[in-house]
């Protein structure tokens, strides 16, 4: 099976061709970060315009890179949501048009199912599986009793993990998105500041990061008013320690209560070195679990991960018709996404 997949939910336009759900034949991504950076976040209208300009160019490039034609394809897949509606619509419309023109099945998927499915590029996910899905918009523990079954057992009550990195980074004057820079600073610094860890002793698997974010921001403002200096590297290290400790503690508890064969860490924040190291240590004590951290290069948004999710959805019979619409509020509770 050859799947051509489209991703356009935020600020990356990406088209990929994925073979049998496990092999990337081609991947073409255009990032718009530079256009949004001076605004400190994604500007929806700017995003849509970039997606329109790029999507057909990238689709052509993905096909020619793969040395394939549309006749070789099995299905066309696309991120249906969540994300910016105007951005999603470009991918959905491109996918629908190509599927219609070449008489191919159309397969919509949930963006987060895509993030998680990128683990299949490391080794096949064995079920039951658990995923820690950490990105700019989500922080979820997702239980997969079987392939194509997703149950959210833990979620954030306020900010997502990546969002808290971006907001803390903004207060430090760093460029958006700030996760990677803060991660590097954390590795240069030492965790000398005492910061809160929310919901640690709570039995549920929910997360909360807004208190931690506020604590960092208040600490900086207070120091500023007193004319004291804050060591940004040390503050980054302290912040990262708090985020990682909460994520790893909750994940360990979930792994102890749900016996799974594979554990996946996925989403943009899965590129975080501190998080990967701490999870590796935690999983070393659980050698029966197959640890599948998504490759760092595929942690952020890309169409290859969407292709992997589409392959699964396609095999389970999921199809979109010509009325398929972007859904900016799509979540896992749509069961079969």
Using rule CB under 6 A, residue 168 touches ligand ATP: no
Using rule CB under 6 A, residue 239 touches ligand ATP: no
Nearer to Fe ion, 9 or 238 (CB): 9
Contact region with ligand ATP (CB under 6 A), list: 33-41, 206-214, 262-270, 281-289: 262-270
Using rule CB under 6 A, residue 271 touches ligand ATP: yes
Nearer to ligand ATP, 66 or 308 (CB): 308
Q: Is the peptide bond before 177 cis (omega within 30 degrees of 0)?
A: yes
Nearer to Mg ion, 41 or 317 (CB): 41
Using rule CB under 5 A, residue 275 touches Mg ion: no
Report the nearest approach of ligand ATP to the CB of residue 72 (Å).
29
Using rule CB under 5 A, residue 301 touches Fe ion: yes
Nearer to Mg ion, 140 or 301 (CB): 301
Report 97-136 residues binding Mg ion (CB under 5 A). Answer: none
Is there a binding annotation on residue 111? yes
- Residue 283 has phi, psi (to 5 degrees) of -75, -20
Report the nearest approach of Mg ion to the CB of residue 78 (Å).
17
Report 89-148 residues binding Fe ion (CB under 5 A). Answer: 135
Residue numbers at the binding site for ligand ATP (CB under 6 A): 9-10, 83, 111, 115, 135-138, 162, 165-166, 177-180, 183, 267-269, 271-272, 300-301
Query: Binding site: residue ranges?
Result: 111, 115, 133-137, 166, 179, 183, 272, 301
Residue numbers at the binding site for Fe ion (CB under 5 A): 135, 301
């Amino acid at each position: 099976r050859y799947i051509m997949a489209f991703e356009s939910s935020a600020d990356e336009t990406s088209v990929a061709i994925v073979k049998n759900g496990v092999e990337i034949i081609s991947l073409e991504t255009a990032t718009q970060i530079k256009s949004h950076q001076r605004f400190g976040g994604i500007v929806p209208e700017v995003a849509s315009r970039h997606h329109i300009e790029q999507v057909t160019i990238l689709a052509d490039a993905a096909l020619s890179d793969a040395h394939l034609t549309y006749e070789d394809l099995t299905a066309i897949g696309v991120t249906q949501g969540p994300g910016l509606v105007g951005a999603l619509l470009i991918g959905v419309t491109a996918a629908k048009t190509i599927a219609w023109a070449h008489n191919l099945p159309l397969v919509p998927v949930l963006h987060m199912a895509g993030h998680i499915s990128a683990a299949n590029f490391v080794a096949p996910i064995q079920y039951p599986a658990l995923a820690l899905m950490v990105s700019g918009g989500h922080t979820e523990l997702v239980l997969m009793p079987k392939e194509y079954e997703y149950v959210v057992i833990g979620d954030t009550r306020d900010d997502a993990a990546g969002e808290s990195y971006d907001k803390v980074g903004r207060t430090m004057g760093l460029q958006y998105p700030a996760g990677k820079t803060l991660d590097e600073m954390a590795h240069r610094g030492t965790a000398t500041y005492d910061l809160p860890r929310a919901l640690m002793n709570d039995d549920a698997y929910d997360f909360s990061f807004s208190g931690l974010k506020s604590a960092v921001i208040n600490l900086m403002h207070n120091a500023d008013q007193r004319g004291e200096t804050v060591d940004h590297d040390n503050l980054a290290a302290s912040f990262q320690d708090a985020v990682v400790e909460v994520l790893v503690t909750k994940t360990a508890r979930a792994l102890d209560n749900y016996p799974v064969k594979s554990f996946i860490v996925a989403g943009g924040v899965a590129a975080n070195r501190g998080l990967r190291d701490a999870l590796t240590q935690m999983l070393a004590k659980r050698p029966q679990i197959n640890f599948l951290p998504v490759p760092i290069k595929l942690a952020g948004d890309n169409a290859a991960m969407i292709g992997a999710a589409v392959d699964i959805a396609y095999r389970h019979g999921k199809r979109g018709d010509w009325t398929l619409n972007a859904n900016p509020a799509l979540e896992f509770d749509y069961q079969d996404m």
